[in-house]
């Protein structure tokens, strides 16, 4: 996985704090994300051979159109390169937690949709690695149970010009439903064509960062136990593991949109 890009885009509304001054390097989205990553020991230093950390910093930004009334406008985005071995899952949970903390420093985020580009772990390694990746997710699921703030969502997975996700989707859905967890309940089955959670998001993820443009996709409607970046991080990690278990090896763009 090393060297592959992970990018998260937060769409919706952002009411910037009056005290926020993005003019200094340490207080813009990049500087804040870098500082938070370092403070939590999630940052891998740029020097070759430096151990530790989950990702190397790539880029981040706050879109100039923050004042736009368009509900699906991108407000903030963050891009990193995971530094774990290729068979390990991408660190989407701390990544999105970090993004949420940065957003809170900048203003009040009214999140309408999350779009994230994720590299897929290589599950051609022995099965015990896959089990160890799933077990913490199921253990952590209890944190989000019974919060009383469930939200109906549409989830779209797009493998771009590679049809992998369409082929794997039925098995993925059955696999997801086989585990006892209360974070994400799948509603109706898979939908294709017009049921795209990414429709209308401005801007989308650039084609050159993955196998874009988007083309092969499936969507699932369901309910997430909590509408927060922490819960969405869990959901994305669960979807990534489902895809990896069913042979997806190319990056996915996953969009989760509140309904």
Q: Which two tokens stand for residue 9?
A: 């885009």
pLDDT given for residue 126 in this prediction: 57
Residue closest to 202 by CA, chosen among 7, 14, 10 = 10
pLDDT given for residue 84 in this prediction: 86
pLDDT given for residue 198 in this prediction: 94
pLDDT given for residue 85 in this prediction: 83
pLDDT given for residue 149 in this prediction: 80
Cα separation, 238 vs 216, whole angstroms: 20
Count of beta carbons in the 10 Å neighbourhood of residue 94:
17
Cα separation, 121 vs 247, whole angstroms: 10
Q: List the pLDDT tens digit at each of the 259 positions of the chain.
A: 444 899 999 999 999 888 877 666 568 999 999 999 999 999 998 766 667 899 999 999 998 764 556 668 999 999 999 998 888 899 999 999 999 999 999 999 999 999 999 999 887 765 555 556 788 899 888 888 777 789 999 999 999 999 999 999 999 999 999 999 989 998 766 666 668 999 999 999 999 999 999 999 999 999 999 999 999 999 999 999 999 999 999 999 999 999 9
Which residues contact residue 190 at a Cβ distance below 8 angstroms, ignoring those fewer than 6 apart?
169, 170, 173, 218, 219, 220
Q: How many CA atoms lie within 13 A of 244 on its CB side?
A: 27
pLDDT given for residue 165 in this prediction: 94
Cα separation, 43 vs 52, whole angstroms: 8
Q: What string of DSSP letters covers 181-196?
A: -SSEEE-S--B-TT--
- Taking each helix axis from N to C end, the angle separating 29-39 and 92-106, rounded to the nearest 10 degrees, works out to 130
Q: Angle at the Cα of 115 (from 162 to 56), degrees rounded to 5? A: 90
pLDDT given for residue 23 in this prediction: 63
Which run of H or E residues covers position 107? strand 107-118
pLDDT given for residue 1 in this prediction: 41
pLDDT given for residue 86 in this prediction: 81
pLDDT given for residue 127 in this prediction: 57
């Amino acid at each position: 996985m090393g060297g592959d890009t992970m990018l998260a885009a937060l769409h919706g509304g952002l009411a910037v704090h009056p005290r926020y001054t993005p003019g200094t390097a340490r207080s813009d989205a990049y500087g804040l994300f870098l500082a938070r990553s370092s403070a939590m020991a999630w940052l891998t230093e740029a020097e070759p051979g430096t151990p530790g950390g989950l990702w190397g910093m790539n880029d981040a930004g706050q879109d100039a159109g923050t004042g736009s009334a368009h509900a699906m406008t991108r407000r903030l985005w963050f891009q990193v390169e995971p530094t774990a071995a290729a068979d390990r899952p991408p660190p989407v949970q701390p990544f999105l937690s970090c993004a949420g903390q940065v957003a809170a420093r900048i203003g009040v985020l009214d999140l309408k949709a999350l779009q994230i580009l994720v590299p897929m772990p290589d599950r051609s390694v022995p099965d015990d690695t896959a089990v160890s990746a799933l077990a913490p997710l199921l253990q952590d699921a209890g944190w989000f149970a019974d919060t009383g703030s469930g939200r109906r969502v549409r989830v779209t997975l797009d493998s771009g010009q590679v049809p992998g996700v369409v082929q794997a989707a039925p098995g993925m859905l059955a696999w997801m439903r086989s585990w006892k967890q209360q974070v994400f309940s799948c509603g109706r089955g898979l939908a294709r064509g017009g049921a795209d959670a990414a429709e209308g998001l401005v801007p989308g993820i650039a084609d050159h960062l993955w196998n874009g443009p988007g083309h092969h996709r499936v969507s699932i409607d369901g309910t997430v136990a909590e509408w927060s970046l922490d819960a969405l991080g869990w959901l994305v990690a669960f979807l990534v593991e489902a895809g990896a278990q069913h042979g997806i090896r190319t990056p996915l763009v996953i969009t989760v949109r509140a309904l």
